[in-house]
Amino acid sequence: MITVGLILGIAGACRTDELVNLTVDDIEDVGSSLIVKIPNTKTKIPRIFVVTDVENMLELFRKYLSLRPPHAKHKRLFLYYKAEKCSSQPVGKNTMGKIPSVVASYLKLPDVACYTGHCLRKSSATLLADAGVDITTIKRHAGWKSTTVAEGYVENSIENKTKIANQVLVDTTTSAITKTVNVSESNIPSNINFENCTNVTFNLNVNK
């Protein structure tokens, strides 16, 4: 249950409530991918996202789905899992919201309690921002009406901040101090000889 919740939560930037309310009818297995529909959202904007077969994600989903008891009287996707089988009891909001903290505990991360259900949605947006995805796409993927939140993820992206740092500290510095000068043999002083030179750096002090 945790693994499938993690996959769908990050792939679709899902809120905890959206995962809890997912039904088996909301997911279509088309062979090479899963098409997931989120019909009811906080912003009243239905969303659709796709899960592709990366790191055997589809196999993990299908294995979990196969454990669903045939006598279940509801269509909720997430059921309690124990002893390698699922019960017919659907997973509640509190249990679903603890998935990030369970993963953080497994990874031995500090401050485990800080990893709430919102981390799945936040991780999805952060991964997109780090990949250089534009604000409009991030906004549409997560179903935000305003661009303010999406802009925040882009602005706080470590990858973007690293690129900016390189542009400020490397590119601009290099362009500021680098200049190509065409030198011909006719204007080289006779007492200077150049033979088989590579990667030569000249420091010139020019007094005007």
For the stretch 95-145, pLDDT in tens is 999 999 999 999 999 999 999 999 999 899 889 888 888 888 988 898 888
Q: Which residues pair with 51 in a beta bridge?
A: 34
Q: Are 125 and 107 in contact (CB under 8 A)?
A: no
For the stretch 143-157, pLDDT in tens is 888 788 777 777 777
In angstroms, the first-to-last Cα distance of the chain is: 74
Q: What confidence category does residue 8 fall into, taking pLDDT thresholds of 50, 70 and 90?
A: very high
pLDDT score recorded for residue 206: 54
- 3-class secondary structure, 131: coil
Whether the pLDDT of residue 50 is over 70: the answer is yes
Q: Which of 8, 59, 7, 9 is nearest to 31 (CA)?
A: 59
DSSP element (H, E) containing 5: helix 2-11
Least confident window among 24-38, 103-117, 182-196: 182-196
DSSP element (H, E) containing 122: helix 118-130
